[in-house]
Amino acid sequence: MATNLKTILLVDDNQLFLKMLSQAFKKSGIKCITAESGRHALEILSTTIPDAILSDYEMPDMNGMEFRQQLMDNSSFKDIPFVFLTYIIDNDLMLKGFDLEAVDYVIKDTPVNVIVSKLNNLIYTVQKQQELSKSEIKKAAEALNVKSIPTKSPDIKGFDVDFWHRPYQDIPGGDFIDFIQANERYTFIVLGDIMGKKWMAWFFTFSYLSYIRSAIRFCILNQDYSVGSILQKVNDVICLDDLLKDILSSLSLLMIDNETKAISYAGAGDLPLLYYQAKTSQLKQINGDGLLLGLFAGSVYTEQIITLADSDQLFVFTDGMIDFSDAGGNKSDYNSFSKKIENTLADNNSFDEIKKELFEPLLAVQVDDCSIINIRKTI
Amino acid sequence: MIKIVKDTTDHLLIEIEVSEANLGNSDLFKSQVVQLLDRHKKTVIIDFSKVEYIDSSFLGALVAILKHAMTIKQDIILVSLKKDVHDLLKLIRLDKVFKIYPSYNEAI
């Protein structure tokens, strides 16, 4: 049976029937929202998406079939499992309903506990099917060996570079990380976040990564080692790609010069980096100035040079690190995350210790993919 | 998801009716506002006073709406943002992209 608390939307103009059925569902652990008409149900759907809809066929103004047609016309509602509730046993009507992808019919004379079991089974089956699909996609992705997160950190003389990444609900999402060692002198560090979540965002990470990797390679071939110029090229190409229309991404691009030990940085709609100065134990923000990739062609991305003294650190992260859920709902709080980092650095914690003490506990309140890269200048 | 509060000769004022603007409602929001833009062909002012939290999926939808508005030579204006929501927009420089006002009266 369904394990988590599931929600069902009951639509019927008979208030008594609504009350009786909703009580039976509640008793079996299913949350019920009731609507007395198709129009009322559409209003509810504009703020709440249930796990299934059980709707009467015969209703004034908008009958069940018309209500179902309206749902089918809306991409946000058409995939919610839908079951008709009716007194009428009419084969033509039932066929019409099945043409509108209704999952099943339930005759109103059916004992209430049987109706509840039927819906409970339906929600459970849909949930199982979704889990199976996710697992198939995961297997396919693993077989293709496509990765948007590297398996290990790069070795760069004079620096310790490490990262921590956790996908939301264990489903690959829109965050991507890459370390590109162009030659012995230059290493590029890439952290991006496709706006959106889960599979849809994940699929686009590869298009973005391909463009970013290509732009870096072309710039190296032309001996153009400007991260600002690379971001401009990536953005202009993405804005021309019709397949990426409306797919936006933040990006922090850094390049470590192993000879001068300088780090150049340019950002596209990314959160400010955190720079920890070991000598003063102070944490400062470093703000990029560029807009999200894919927003407007011709956008300018200014490059900044960051010079770390021994033991200084940089933290580069995506918005999942500052988002969390509490009793009051979901929240974003950059300043509170920054304060937590500052406190843990004051205790001289290593990145491994910070992962354990600060990041791992975040998973309990996580609402998005979490990614953070740490760059530490070694002595 | 959204409610039309005012329809004047040069703009529509709409209100977002949810407190969490996220992946679960971003597609619906986008399609509803795009429909309004296409039908009314005027500036859409979006009242955020009920929105306590906004995620990146919803921000993506908001930007897609702005891009659509620009292609039909219309505008999107955001008003009455809660501090946390406004701070997030500023952090990722979306305040440079959208016209943002503290209230509807200051926007018109």
Q: CB distance B18–A195 less than 8 Å?
A: no
pLDDT value of residue A3? 43
Asked: is A148-377 a CATH 3.60.40.10 domain? The reply is yes
Residues on B contacting A at a C-beta cutoff of 8 Å: 1-2, 17-20, 22-25, 27-28, 31, 52-57, 59-60, 63-64, 67, 84, 87-88, 91-94, 96-97
Q: What does the pLDDT average to over B84-105?
A: 95
* Distance (Å) of CA A141 to CA A148, A171, A175: 11, 11, 16
Q: For residue A1, is pLDDT > 70?
A: no
For residue B18, the chain A residues in CB contact (below 8 A) are: 47
Q: For residue A144, is pLDDT > 90?
A: no
Residue among A269, A297, A299, A272 at smallest CA distance from A283: A272
User: How far away is chain B from the Cα of A356, in angstroms, using its nearest Cα?
Assistant: 26
Domain locations in chain B as residue ranges: 2-103
CATH of domain B2-103: 3.30.750.24
Q: For residue A2, is pLDDT > 60?
A: no
- Segment A151-192, tens digit of pLDDT: 999 999 999 999 999 988 777 788 999 999 988 899 999 999
Give the one of A247, A330, A334 whose C-beta lies nearest to B53's C-beta: A330
Q: CB distance B31–A46 less than 8 Å?
A: no
Residue among A295, A280, A293, A258 at smallest CA distance from A154: A258
Q: What does the pLDDT average to over A340-357?
A: 90
Domains A6-142 and A148-377 share a fold: no
- Segment A70-114, tens digit of pLDDT: 888 877 788 888 988 887 667 777 777 777 777 778 888 888 888
**Measured between alpha carbons, how far is A352 from A359 in angstroms, rounded to an integer?**
10
Q: What does the pLDDT average to over A221-232?
A: 93
Domain A6-142 adopts which CATH fold?
Rossmann fold (3.40.50)
Q: CB distance B56–A333 less than 8 Å?
A: no
Residue-averaged pLDDT of chain A: 88
Contact A194, A205 (CB under 8 A): yes
What SS3 string covers chain A? CCCCCEEEEEECCCHHHHHHHHHHHHHCCEEEEEECCHHHHHHHHCCCCCCEEEEECCCCCCCHHHHHHHHHCCCCCCCCCEEEEECCCCHHHHHHHHHCCCCEEEECCCCHHHHHHHHHHHHHHHHHHHHHHHHHHHHHHHHHCCCCCCCCCCCECCEEEEEEEECHHHCCCCEEEEEEECCCCEEEEEEEEECCCHHHHHHHHHHHHHHHHHHHHHHHHCCCCCHHHHHHHHHHHHHHCHHHCCCCEEEEEEEEECCCCEEEEEEECCCCEEEEECCCCEEEEECCCECCECCCCCCCCCCEEEECCCCCEEEEECHHHCEEEECCEEEECHHHHHHHHHHHHHCCCCHHHHHHHHHHHHHHHCCCCEEEEEEEECC
pLDDT value of residue A4? 56
pTM for this predicted structure: 0.79
Domain locations in chain A as residue ranges: 6-142, 148-377
- Segment B26-75, tens digit of pLDDT: 888 999 999 999 999 999 999 999 999 998 889 999 999 999 999 999 99
pLDDT value of residue A145? 63
- Least confident among A132-141, A232-241, A288-297, A315-324: A132-141
Q: For residue A14, is pLDDT > 60?
A: yes
Q: Edge-to-edge strand order for the sheet containing A82-86?
A: A30-35, A6-11, A52-56, A82-86, A104-107
**Measured between alpha carbons, how far is A64 from A68 in angstroms, rounded to an integer?**
6
pLDDT value of residue A292? 96
ipTM: 0.90
Alpha helices (H) in B9-100, listed in sequence order:
23-40, 56-71, 83-91
Q: Using CA coordinates, name the residue in chain A closest to B84.
A: A332
Contact A179, A154 (CB under 8 A): yes
Question: A365: how many CB neighbours lie within 10 A of its CB?
Answer: 12
User: How far away is chain A from the Cα of B23, in angstroms, using its nearest Cα?
Assistant: 7
A23 bridge partner residues: none
Q: Which of A195, A321, A331, A337 to mutate to test the interface with B (most CBs of B within 10 A)?
A: A195
Backbone φ, ψ for residue A74 (5° rounding) = -120, 120
